[in-house]
Structure 1
Amino acid sequence: MAELDHWHPVLLSHELRRKPRNVRLAGHEIVVFRTSSGGLGAFTDRCPHRSMRLSEGWVEGDRLVCAYHGWRWAVDGRGEIPATPAARPCARREDMFEAVERYGAIWVKRAGSQAAFPRLEGEGYVPRGLLRHRATVPFELALDNFIEIEHTPFVHFMLGYPLERMPEVEARVTLTDETIRVVHSGPRRPMPRAMEKLLGIPEDAIFVVDWTSYFSPVYTIYNHSLRDPKTNQPVTFPLRSAVFFNPVGPESSEMYTFLFASLAPWSKFGAGAVLWPAMQVAMNIELRLDMRLLDRLTDKRGILKGNVLGRFDKPLVIARDRIDRIYRGRVAEAGDGHEAARPARRLPLAAP
């Protein structure tokens, strides 16, 4: 199961205390635990002895204790048997996971895989919050929703574009062998007049959504900004977020959304302390609206073939190839893996 070879966020940091926790990832059950010294361990949630769920056990010192016969397991997979002190059992390599704690979350990947940890912050940003949402669809369908903006006039109240001006929205697509980048730009949605005055937003400001999707694991980094149409400079706080799409089961997925605050000069005057908590609340509402929308889909198989697609849907088709090739490893790379990467190429989206 190649999906387990990539780093995934699976718990919020504060959820992992003294009690081991069971998590599901790509249909696989994993136990995650925190040792008394602060270390992290993760295994398949099944004792190698007699298949008891290890998450039913407890932690003593730096070892996870199975609730069935008391076998004790260290983070590196070495075991102890109270009833047979001389024995030296060891967990199977394929049942062991690496675990780290970053950005307020616990992350895991299968032990021994060479996947690099995602880099999320971006220059000029600091971590500011973390949200988690569950969707009743395969993660591919959740990704589909998050990498097109045509639905935003009907679903969202803050992000996106006004319906009557959607034909004016431009989209530029840039592909590499590993990523999909799309920049949408167009007339902004109207805001309460008091907010526009407070933030100094010009009436003709352009709303820009610059996002890049990666596939080890599957996640998308978004940069949202309102820009002056004359100077192309941001006129208020840029918003950066990274959304990770975890497969849970055949028709369920989890989204972990990491929010990042701008270190732009105007944030030093204290406005950020007021606006960022409000922005986090607004983002949580927006994401809940997406989850409610996805729940109403009639076909939850995650198959695009046979659907009639529009000009904003091309990234969805390209993403399927990246998921199969990079995330699931189903299509072999050309060459021996040491050849130079092909240069990025820019593709125009079809006219409406």
Structure 2
Amino acid sequence: MSAPVRLLTLALLVPAACGRTPQEGHADFDLHHTRQAGGQAVARWSGDAVTAEELSQRFEEMSPALRERYTDARARREYVESVARFELLVRDALARGLQDDPEVVEATKRALVNRLMRAQLEEASVQVTDAELEAAYAARRDDFVRPEAVRLSHVFLAAPRPDAARVADARKRAEALLARAKALPEGDFAGFGTLARENSEEPRTAPLDGDLRFLSDDALAHTYGAEVATAARALTTEGALSGVVQTDAGLHLLKLRARRPALNLTLDDVREELRVRLEGEKRSRAWAAYLARVEKGLSLSVDTEVLAKVPLDVAAPMKKPSGPLPGTVPAP
């Protein structure tokens, strides 16, 4: 094989020239800069060139601001020389056999897979019908239509209303805790959380620093009592404190963390958002189906017994990499 031919190949071109396909796991690449014959050469090198036609196309693809830079003859020449030098370095790298370097091979594999993924996703049928949009809106209606919600932190002291003695004792403790809460800066949610964690008698929320998360007015009344919902509506600024709020179950101290406004979006309001989401889901399903076909066609299998015996010591010191890490594709 002559040196010029060797310079222009990434793999053996002799099999292709003889009409034979490359061996499995091998590939032939044409690394000529100019793929089409003809054209007027602006810059030449052994067996290749940058043409005036290509250069004109490149300028048209630039932004007007960048294009203006190359109205200067010197800048235009520097651009052409830069393109040519890049191709000369490719030639020299091939002459040195760097196409077989593990980093080059792995980078080529990654580029191929990335291009394949883009092609598959672009080719996937992702037509979304009006019926599908209506069904998606109905299924996700809670994302688009919901009442106003409030997020509170609370300290709860258990004291059933009929037990007057227990209520009286709980109220004394609640008033003392309220005084401590008022001594905190309004925005000190961590300090109030400490009070809740150390004193609240509701086991579900005490470990969460008394955080009730976001609840609608109806949900708040149903879960904690109408008195809590009424007191919450009176809190208008973040960090505001209620007084001692009595319910049938006991006494609450409330601190407003945030309010979330009501949402009432129609299908027309979110049509494009849903369309994009459904198109993405369809592309994901198409990609999963494509992967399954490739795995079946190339007989992919995993020996779990052998895999389980591969040594893996999480405490061992890290060794110097022996080569680039293999490319991976997440499971669909």
Whether these two folds match at TM > 0.5 is no
Higher-Rg structure is 2
Greater fraction strand: 1
- TM-score range for the pair, normalised by the shorter chain length: under 0.3
User: Structure 1 length normalisation: TM-score?
Assistant: 0.18
TM-score, normalising length from structure 2?
A: 0.19
